A and B are shown apart, each in its own frame.
Chain A
Amino acid sequence: MIRSMIRLGVILALFAGLACAGLAVVYSITGPVIAQQQQKDLEAALKAIFPDSDGFSDITPELAGPDPKITIRNGYVMKKGGSTIGAAVKAIGPSYSAGAVVLTGIGTDGKVVRAVILELNDTPGLGANAANPNYFVDKPNKITFMGQFAGKSLGDPFTAKGDVQAITASTITTQSIAAIVKASGAAAKAYLDTTGGAK
């Protein structure tokens, strides 16, 4: 009985070991490419929010989010010619299907510069329209769902169908994204206030 259990255990360990070896090989090839890809995505996203910036530095450990459901992943302070022009915060929060990742840029005046969705798995045609550049919540002015956050003051309530225009039939997505933007904004503003934007 014991012997057969040991035999089965050893066989299982052998299979697991082989699988590990295979995965290690694939990971060692793809790992650097994935890291590079993520770095490129991040730089492109930061550049899209602060086109004037000429550099950024990581301030992740100094940030604290006000909402326990929304996790602050990373934060960056954006520089231009040595002076701070704002901060960008990447945060993940619950949305309709899975977690949504949003990058929010806050200017030194405490207003949202721009917010961009990095990851969203909500229903195509509904919630996914939050990230669709051709879906306008304000059709005459061609303002996209994320576009409406630009210039918004952090003191606003950020409620769906209130001061945030909702995506048709997707109030949950609307509210979730708005909450992530608000929480990220608050974290970034707290940082900018304590450092006086002079760091």
Chain B
Amino acid sequence: MSRRLSVFLQGLVIENPLAVIMIGLCSALAVTTSVANGIGMSLAMTFVIVASELIISLFRKLIPESIRMPIFIIVIAAFTTMVDLVMKAYFPELSKAMGVFIPLIVVNCIIMGRVEAFASKEGPLDSTLDALGMGLGYTWVLVGMAVVREILGNGTLLGFPIMPESYQPILFFVLPPGGFLVFALFISLNQILKKKWLESPLGCPDPEGGK
């Protein structure tokens, strides 16, 4: 398997930012109470991580080691603010629903972590692929959790009622403890996928890519 493809695939399961690296959890647990929020947050976060990793990778040789953190924060904050403004202007409903979590992407550990661990060392193409992989890995776990929590906890999917009239929503699932439970289930699901993946031909250890 080519090295580039494996860079991209790492973030999906093997190094899933939520289920394996386990960073950026607080906003993930907080926004997954409804699917629309989950999708909005994932898209916003994927855009910010791709743009930030690309820019930082391009400028990586110009960023002095001792002030890399403030520079990373400036770049991430700039992109997050852009997303925030664009959402306020063109998707006001979504922006209202997401509330404070969009500005909080600035301090999302996944972006900071990948920028520090990957983009500040690798080239722009690899960094973009890494960011896309991480973004998609974040997306599937987030949207999956949101689907489970919204259906069980509210009886709806994307706001449409799908459960029978008689269904009494289990409020537990939209509350934080339910979030932890569903998250734990997704960690185990990811472990099963990871095991299957590593046994399949796709998961052949790659001397260069599999870090």
Interface residues of A (CB under 8 A from B): 7-8, 11-12, 15-16, 19, 22-23, 26-27, 29-31, 33-34, 37, 41, 98, 119, 121, 123-126, 169
Are A8 and B154 within 8 A (Cβ)? no
Q: For the complex formed, measure the closest distance between the CB of A118 and the CB atoms of chain B, giving whole angstroms.
A: 8
The 3 A-B residue pairs with the shortest CB-CB distance, nearest first, are A19-B78, A33-B89, A30-B89
| B58-71 interface code vs A (CB 8 A; 1 in, 0 out) | 01001110110011
Contact of B75 among A7, A15, A124, A169 (CB under 8 A): A15
When C-beta atoms are compared, the residue in chain A nearest to B154 turns out to be A125
Apart from the given pairs A11-B64, A37-B89, A98-B99, 16 other A-B contacts in the complex at a CB distance below 8 Å: A7-B64, A8-B67, A11-B67, A12-B70, A15-B63, A15-B71, A15-B75, A16-B74, A19-B74, A22-B78, A22-B82, A23-B82, A27-B85, A30-B89, A124-B37, A125-B171
12 A–B contact pairs at CB < 8 A? A11-B67, A12-B70, A23-B81, A23-B82, A26-B81, A41-B92, A98-B100, A124-B37, A124-B174, A125-B154, A125-B169, A125-B171
Please measure, in the bound complex, the distance between the C-alpha atom of A125 and the C-alpha atom of B96, giving whole angstroms.
16
> Which among A11, A16, A125 has the greatest number of chain B C-beta atoms within 10 A?
A125
Are A30 and B74 within 8 A (Cβ)? no
Given A16-B74, A37-B92, A126-B171, also A8-B153 (CB < 8 A): no
Q: For the complex formed, measure the closest distance between the CB of B146 and the CB atoms of chain A, giving whole angstroms.
A: 10
Number of A-B pairs whose CB atoms are under 8 Å?
75
The answer to the question of B193 belonging to the interface, with a C-beta cut-off of 8 Å to chain A, is no
Q: Which residues of A contact B34 (CB under 8 A)?
A: 124
The answer to the question of B16 belonging to the interface, with a C-beta cut-off of 8 Å to chain A, is no
Given A37-B89, A98-B100, also A123-B67 (CB < 8 A): no
Please measure, in the bound complex, the distance between the C-alpha atom of A119 and the C-alpha atom of B171, giving whole angstroms.
22
Q: For the complex formed, measure the closest distance between the CB of A18 and the CB atoms of chain B, giving whole angstroms.
A: 8
Please measure, in the bound complex, the distance between the C-alpha atom of A100 and the C-alpha atom of B92, giving whole angstroms.
17
Q: Which residues of A contact B167 (CB under 8 A)?
A: none
| B162-195 interface code vs A (CB 8 A; 1 in, 0 out) | 0000000101001100000000000000000000
Q: Which residues of B contact A123 (CB under 8 A)?
A: 33, 174-175
| B114-133 interface code vs A (CB 8 A; 1 in, 0 out) | 00000000000000000000
Contact of A124 among B33, B77, B89 (CB under 8 A): B33
Given A8-B64, A30-B89, also A126-B175 (CB < 8 A): yes
Q: Which residues of A contact B82 (CB under 8 A)?
A: 22-23, 26
The answer to the question of B4 belonging to the interface, with a C-beta cut-off of 8 Å to chain A, is no
